[in-house]
Amino acid sequence: MRFILPLGWIATILAVAPVRFDREKVLRVKPQDEKQANIIKDLAKTNQLDFWYPDATHHVAANMTIDFRVSEKESQFIQSTLDQNKMHYEILIHDLQEEIEKQFDVKEDIPGRHSYAKYNNWDKIVGWTEKMVHKHPEMVSRIKIGTTVEDNPLYVLKIGKRDERRKAIFMDCGIHAREWISPAFCQWFVYQAAKTYGKNKIMTKLLDRMNFYVLPVFNVDGYIWSWTQNRMWRKNRSKNQNSKCIGTDLNRNFNVSWNSFPNTKNPCADIYQGPEPESEKETKAVTDFIRSHLKSIKAYITFHSYSQMLLFPYGYTSKLPRNHENLAKVAKIGTDVLATRYETHYIYGPIASTIYPTSGSSLDWAYNLGIKHTFAFELRDKGKFGFLLPESLIKPTCKETFLAVKFIAKYILKHTS
C-alpha cells in the first residue's frame, strides 16, 4: 500500500530541510596582479562565490589573500580556470559539510545544558541570561532593549553595581550570524567577570568603578537561522521590498557614510545595507540604547570573526581619527597582552587599511557619536577553519581575548573622563 503525504506536509518538510554543504570547498587565492584580481571578480559574476575574506567582490585586489566558498558543481570549473591562468590556490576546506559536523568536537557534560566550552543555541543563551541574573543579583541585571523582526527579545546584560553615572563600556557579539565564536566570547566574558569579582584584583577594581553593557547576540534571528537552516547565514531575517532575497547586513546599516559603496545596495548581497540607515529593528534598538547612555559609555567594543585583528576607525575613509595615535597605542598593547597566553598573533590598525573599507559600520558610527575609544576584534582563526572554529578552540580564544578586553577596560578607567 502506497502512503501519500498531504501537500501541506510536503511543503512543511521541504521548508524546514536545512541547507547541506556536501563536498563544497573553501579556496584561498592570492592574486599577484590586477589581471589576476579581475579573473576572480569575473568568476564571481558568473558563479555563486560566497566570500569569506574579504566579505565582498569589490574588495578583491592584487596581493590580497582571498578566501571563498564554492559549490561542488562549480568547484571543478573554478579550479581549472585558476590553473589555466597559473594562479596558485590552496584548498582550505575540502568538504564543508564534514567540517560543519566536526565543529562540535567537545562532549557535553550534561546533554542539553549550557556550556562555555560549546556553542550554545539561542534558547540555551536565553536560559543562561536568566541564570546569570539569578546567580549574581547584586552584579548582573538583564535589560530588554528591543525585539527583532521575528519578535525575539534583544537582551543586554549589565555587569556592575547599580549606579548609572559611572563609566561604562558597551560590548556586542554576533552581529553576523555565522560568526559563532563571537557570542561564545560574550558569554565567557560575563561569566568570568561575575565569577572573578572579589577574587581577581583587576576585575574587582573594574566592576567596583565601572559598568559593562554586554549584548551577547546582536543578530538573534540570523543566529537562530544559522543553527536551524543555513550554517553560512550572515544577515538578519528581514523581508526586502520588491525582492525575494531576505536580510540586511546589520553592520552596514548604521548611519555613518551609509550610502557610499554601490555594492551594498543589492538586497541579495551578503553586505546589503538595508533601505535606509537604522531601518532594522536590531540596529535601532542598539543605537537608541547607546544614545540614551551616551554620558556614561566611554568605549564601544564589537566582536567578529575571523582573521585575528584588532581594528579601530575609520572604515569608510582612509582619513585617520584625531586620536589615532592613542587608539593605535591601546590596540598595540591589547594585542601584545592577548599574545601572552598562547602566543596568538594579531595585527592591528584602522579598518580601511588593515582589513578593507566598509560603510555603515557600528564602529565608525559609535566613534562619530562621540565614543572616542571604539574597537573591533576579529577573533580566531586565520582561515584554516574560518567561521567553523572547532569547539575545542573556544576556551583558548576566550581566555586570550578576555586579557585584551580587561586591559582596554583598565585603560578606559584610568584615561577617560
CA distance 301 to 293: 15
Find the length of the chain: 417
330 touches 346 (CB < 8 A): no
- Annotated active-site residue in 99, 378, 391, 400: 378
DSSP for 358-391, written as a single string: -SS-HHHHHHHHT---EEEEEES-SSSSTT---G
140 touches 190 (CB < 8 A): yes
Smallest CA-to-CA distance from 181 within 403, 377, 405 is with 377
Whether 378 is catalytic: yes
Set of cell numbers at residue 329: 597605542
CA distance 68 to 385: 12
43 touches 76 (CB < 8 A): no
259 touches 282 (CB < 8 A): no
CA distance 417 to 286: 23
CA distance 81 to 76: 9
CA distance 77 to 205: 59
Set of cell numbers at residue 73: 558543481
- Quick one: CA dihedral 335, 402, 116, 16, positive or negative? negative
| Whether the bond into 270 is cis, omega within 30 of 0 | no
Using DSSP's 3-state secondary structure scheme, residue 210 falls into strand
403 touches 336 (CB < 8 A): no
Distances (CA, A) of 161 to 195, 200, 205, 252, 405: 15, 17, 12, 34, 19
- Tell the residue number behind the cell numbers 501519500, with chain if given: 4
Distances (CA, A) of 137 to 114, 134, 282: 19, 6, 27
Smallest CA-to-CA distance from 256 within 316, 208, 201, 177 is with 316
- The residues that bridge with 310 in the sheet, in sequence order, are 348, 377
- The residues near 198 (Cβ < 8 Å, ≥ 6 apart) are 204
Q: Looking at the annotation, which residues are catalytic?
A: 378
